[in-house]
Amino acid sequence: MEKNDAHTEHSNGYTIYVIIWLSLLVLTGLTVAVAGIDIGELTIPAALLIASVKAYLVLTIFMHLRNESRTFTVFLYVAAFFLLISFILLFTDYSFQ
Amino acid sequence: MNIEAQAHTEVHVHRDDVGARLGMWLFLFTELILFGGLFIVYSIYRFTYPEDFRLAAKELNTIIGAFNTIILLTSSLTMVLSIAAIQRQNKNLSMFFQLITIALALSFMVNKYFEWTAKFHHGIYPGSDSLMNESSGQILFYGLYYVMTGLHGLHVVIGIVAISIMVRFTKKGIVNSDSYVKLENVGLYWHLVDIIWIFLFPLFYLIT
Amino acid sequence: MAFDTATSDTNRQEPSYLEYKGKHSGLLGWILSTDHKRIGVLYLTAILTFFFGGVVFGFLMRLELISPGETIMSPETYNSFFTLHGVIMIFLFVIPGIPAIFGNFFLPILIGAKDVAFPRLNLFSWYLYMGGGILALMSIVLPGGPADTGWTFYIPYSVRTNTNVLISLAAAFTLGFSSMLTGINFVTTVHRLRAPGMTWFKMPLSIWSFYATAWVQVLATPIIAITLLLVALERIMHVGIFDPALGGDPVLYQHLFWIYSHPAVYIMILPAMGIVSEIIPVFAHRTIFGYKFIAFSSIAIASFGSLVWAHHMFTAGMSDTGQFVFSLLTMLVAIPSAIKVFNWTATLYKGSIELATPMLYVLAFIFLFSIGGLTGVMQGTLSIDIQLHDTAFIVGHFHYVMFGGTGFAMFAAMHYWLPKMFGRMYHRPTAKVAFWFLFIGFNLLYFPMLIMGWLGMPRRYYDYLPEFHPYHLASTIGSWILIIGLILMFYNLIRSFKKGMIITEKNMWGGETLEWQIETPPIHENFTEIPVITERPYGYHDNELPVEKKELV
């Protein structure tokens, strides 16, 4: 049986992983389906939203982010924020040309 | 104030699994931003050439793309199951899942190979005459397509090597139920490779 | 005098890290060592060697510019020289500089640890550094000649020129990897290996600086990695990304390049500021003024510094909105830097100031960095930058901050910490003479650039109108005085390794951080027992010399 290790106490059973995997497959199907519908301006946001949900599931469950100390999540926010702000500021140049 | 001096001089091997994972996450951020830079370039050019991108994307095969997405998602599953298995001291099951992951990764690369060679056959590759005759946006689309999926593919190959090493470590007991942070870290790397593809897929294959 | 055992609690039982016999001996014991201190010394040797190379190129450039027209080299050679000078100085000297040498050696000691979190990765970082350096050297000697694009590798010239651009890109890429891995190591070390009782706000301020720097190394460097990789792919495989002939946008290249290269300048300056925060309390005999302000300003500089990159591109063809946004953000980043300068100055006020050599360099830093910083604010003003962009003014500005700032701080750190690292004291009067040569030479070399740039002298031009001649003449003479100072300083320091007065004293300067409580030079594992921290650093009582300090003869 499991050892009395803080990390293992949080370890997930096999089932949760399979459930998340099924969710990911469903979301993939959703992405493909949505791509077939013409929603004009919302196409990119929709695609990114679904991809983000998938990424969130992989991060929190598969990568055990929810089992780690909060430091790890804060780190991720910092990195993501750096990317996001670069992206936004870059568009202050390109959106207004 | 309670002053306890801790004598560490005898202990030369310092084990810190949390620190090891922390370092791995930091490394993953560098990969995230490496690809992030490419996504930034993609977003600027898509903003500049929306029609060209749509046109160029028609050449890509959505079925193969979706199939590859499913392959990678499943490989993420098998990867994390291999960790759950070693946590439960099930060494053989862990190795089994690791090997499945490698098999799935290899089939991803095989699909990629077929995709790319089909494109080359149609004259769509960097610097080709037919590509150069297309409009700027389409040239850029394919430039980005090859660089991004190519760099991603390189990371898949590196992942295959890393997981293979883990199979060997697991077999030899270097990775075991008491000490499996190496496997976890390779798993983290593998999941990032998966996440990158999760974003690549809709942005290249599903613009219609 | 040579063996002052009265200040040691225990007689030295263990050999120093210099004499320690590990698995390997001799040279192998150094280049296979995972001891952070030995790695720091490896970096010291390598970095100063490359610095010397960079100085040679600078010297020759100034020689060319001493009079108008061709003086000692062709224009093509001049282009290659300023490229090499930039690549070497930036990627091989200033960016790795303080973190790789002094961060590696002292970060674990300052937080009460035995080593960094990933010692083998640390050694690997050094190998990558050497690999990058070798690639840079190869770019000089291989056929094709060294790259002549400037260290900025702007498109489209970088995909057109037939010089050794690819190897230069590979060098920069490799060096970037070294930097990223060091950053990963330092962030993890600070989070995981602080001694018991050392909370975040009991850490020395240099650790805050190294920490903030490490984050920038981790987050910003990958952007330059991918950007340079794309340029390489464009050269080799004609992948259309930036090349306008293939439909690309060369301004997008500039954006991506500067998204890293601006934060890179904060990688350069933050550790230098950390050094200043360490040294001022010691030689002013006062506790640092505004510890939390300085600590948070390091984080603020790292954060704001990633928001301002396009101020390098005001004349490149950006939208008006983009220009306004970046000009405004640039003003913001000056604020935390200024906060530091105010706090340092406040620390000096009513202090009992001892003008030891490290303090001279630190005071010079404050003066030179202020000039550099203020000229930076001038450049951040859109209307002024239209005039100043690509002139000698810019060159003057960045040398004031990178050399007058980081360079002088590194010299300060060397004079402060080398005695601790090697147990040898250099000849202090000579060190002070060298300082004055450096300070005077520096200002004579770079201040004229501010003036002639303002008057319209372009940068990267090897020829110029006669009206600029007096400034170039003064500047070149300044370079000679500066170089005399460098030679004197390095001769003094290097000579001290063998001939300097031996020091075994733990606390030769009267510092109040952990490195002054361990052996000189430190033992292999730094501490015989990991300390338990109960007090904040710099706990000086105003103007009181700490009891342990002994007068050095």
What's the token pair of residue C537?
Answer: 């650093």
| Max intra-chain CA distance, chain A | 64
Question: How many Cβ atoms are within 10 Å of C28's Cβ, its own excluded?
Answer: 11
A79 touches chain B (CB under 8 A): yes
- Chains contacting B with at least 3 CB pairs below 8 Å? A, C
Please report the domains of chain C, with CATH numbers, ordered by start residue. Answer: 30-336+343-355+498-517 (1.20.210.10)
**Mean pLDDT for the stretch of residues C49-73:** 96
Residue B48 lies in a domain: yes
Set of chain C residues whose Cβ sits within 8 Å of the Cβ of A96: 319-322
Q: What is the pLDDT of residues B127-182, one digit of tens each?
A: 888 888 889 899 999 999 999 999 999 999 999 999 999 999 999 999 999 999 99
Domain that holds residue B69: 17-205
Residue B51 lies in a domain: yes
> Residue B198's pLDDT band (boundaries 50, 70, 90)?
very high
Partner residue opposite C320 with nearest CB, options A79, A86, A96: A96
What is the distance between the alpha carbons of residues C546 and C206, in angstroms, rounded to a whole number? Answer: 21
Set of chain A residues whose Cβ sits within 8 Å of the Cβ of C320: 96
| C249 and C242 Cβ atoms separated by less than 8 Å | yes
The Cα-based distances of C384 to C377, C387, C392 in angstroms read 10, 5, 14
What is the structure's pLDDT at C10?
47
| Max intra-chain CA distance, chain B | 78
The Cα-based distances of C503 to B84, C109, C516 in angstroms read 56, 19, 13
Partner residue opposite C322 with nearest CB, options A71, A85, A92: A92
Residue B127 lies in a domain: yes
Neighbouring residues of B111: CB distance < 8 A, sequence distance ≥ 6: B64, B67, B68, B71
What is the structure's pLDDT at B8?
41
Set of chain A residues whose Cβ sits within 8 Å of the Cβ of C327: none
The per-residue pLDDT of chain C, averaged, comes to: 93
Q: Do B9 and C227 touch (CB under 8 A)?
A: no
C223 touches chain A (CB under 8 A): yes
DSSP track, C351-410: ------HHHHHHHHHHHHHHHHHHHHHHHHSHHHHHHHTTBHHHHHHHHIIIIIIIIHHH
Q: Do C222 and B36 touch (CB under 8 A)?
A: yes
What is the structure's pLDDT at C343?
96
> Residue C543's pLDDT band (boundaries 50, 70, 90)?
low
What is the structure's pLDDT at C536?
78
> Residue C18's pLDDT band (boundaries 50, 70, 90)?
very high
C399 touches chain A (CB under 8 A): no
Q: What is the pLDDT of residues B94-129, one digit of tens each?
A: 999 999 999 999 999 999 999 999 999 988 988 888
Q: Which of C216, C318, C327 to mutate to test the interface with A (most CBs of A within 10 A)?
A: C318
Residue B9 lies in a domain: no
Q: Is the dihedral of CA B87, B89, B91, B96 positive or negative?
A: negative
A13 touches chain B (CB under 8 A): yes
As for how many domains chain A has, the answer is 1
Q: Which of C301, C277, C297 is nearest to C289 (CA)?
A: C277
**Mean pLDDT for the stretch of residues B26-48:** 96
Q: Which of A69, A87, A88, A89 to mutate to test the interface with C (most CBs of C within 10 A)?
A: A89
What is the structure's pLDDT at C14?
87
> Residue A37's pLDDT band (boundaries 50, 70, 90)?
confident
Q: Where are the alpha helices (DSSP H) in C455-511?
A: 469-499
Residue A1 lies in a domain: no
Q: Do B18 and A35 touch (CB under 8 A)?
A: no
C171 touches chain B (CB under 8 A): no
Residue B112 lies in a domain: yes
Q: What is the pLDDT of residues C265-305, one digit of tens each?
A: 999 999 999 999 999 999 999 999 999 999 999 999 999 99
> Residue C327's pLDDT band (boundaries 50, 70, 90)?
very high
Q: What is the pLDDT of residues C133-191, one digit of tens each?
A: 999 999 999 999 999 999 999 999 999 999 999 999 999 999 999 999 999 999 999 99
A82 touches chain C (CB under 8 A): yes
Partner residue opposite A79 with nearest CB, options C219, C259, C329: C219
Neighbouring residues of A82: CB distance < 8 A, sequence distance ≥ 6: B33, C219, C220, C306
The Cα-based distances of A93 to A86, B55, C261 in angstroms read 11, 26, 18
Give the chain C residue whose CA is nearest to the CA of B33. Answer: C222
Beta-strand pair C424-425/C501-502: antiparallel
What is the distance between the alpha carbons of residues C24 and C169, in angstroms, rounded to a whole number? Answer: 35
Whether this model's ipTM surpasses 0.85 comes out as yes
Partner residue opposite C188 with nearest CB, options B19, B31, B127: B19
| C534 and C197 Cβ atoms separated by less than 8 Å | yes
Give the chain A residue whose CA is nearest to the CA of B30. Answer: A79
Q: Is the dihedral of CA B36, C118, C261, C295 positive or negative?
A: positive
What is the structure's pLDDT at B83?
96
C-alpha distance from A74 to closest chain C C-alpha (Å): 13
DSSP track, C151-187: TTT-TTHHHH--SSHHHHHHHHHHHHHHHHHHHHHHH
What is the structure's pLDDT at C8?
43
A63 touches chain B (CB under 8 A): yes
Burial profile C253-275: b = 16 or more Cβ within 10 angstroms, e = fewer: bbbbbbbbbbbbbbbbbbbbbbb
C-alpha distance from A57 to closest chain C C-alpha (Å): 23
Min mean pLDDT across B76-85, C50-59, C536-545 is at C536-545
- Chains contacting A with at least 3 CB pairs below 8 Å? B, C
Q: Which of A83, A88, A91 to mutate to test the interface with B (most CBs of B within 10 A)?
A: A83
Residues of B at the C interface (Cβ-Cβ below 8 Å)?
1, 3-9, 14, 16, 18-19, 22-23, 26-27, 29-31, 33-38, 40-41, 44-45, 48, 126-127, 132, 135-137, 139-140, 142-144, 146-147
- Bridge partners for C502 per DSSP: C424
What's B168's domain CATH number?
A: 1.20.120.80
Q: What is the pLDDT of residues C154-168, one digit of tens each?
A: 999 999 999 999 999
What is the structure's pLDDT at B202?
94
What is the structure's pLDDT at C541?
59
> Residue B203's pLDDT band (boundaries 50, 70, 90)?
very high
A53 touches chain B (CB under 8 A): no
Question: How many Cβ atoms are within 10 Å of C208's Cβ, its own excluded?
Answer: 25
What's the token pair of residue C472?
Answer: 């170039």
> Residue B4's pLDDT band (boundaries 50, 70, 90)?
very low
Q: Do A89 and C215 touch (CB under 8 A)?
A: no
Set of chain C residues whose Cβ sits within 8 Å of the Cβ of B51: none
What is the distance between the alpha carbons of residues B168 and C106, in angstroms, rounded to a whole number? Answer: 38
What is the distance between the alpha carbons of residues C101 and C135, in angstroms, rounded to a whole number? Answer: 21
Domain that holds residue A66: 6-94
C-alpha distance from A71 to closest chain C C-alpha (Å): 9
Q: Do B43 and A87 touch (CB under 8 A)?
A: yes
Min mean pLDDT across A4-18, B11-25, C69-83, C494-508 is at A4-18
Residue A80 lies in a domain: yes
As for how many domains chain B has, the answer is 1
> Residue B24's pLDDT band (boundaries 50, 70, 90)?
very high
Neighbouring residues of C328: CB distance < 8 A, sequence distance ≥ 6: none
Q: Do C246 and B44 touch (CB under 8 A)?
A: no
C382 touches chain A (CB under 8 A): no
What is the distance between the alpha carbons of residues C154 and C253, in angstroms, rounded to a whole number? Answer: 7
A64 touches chain B (CB under 8 A): yes
The per-residue pLDDT of chain B, averaged, comes to: 91
C-alpha distance from B159 to closest chain A C-alpha (Å): 15
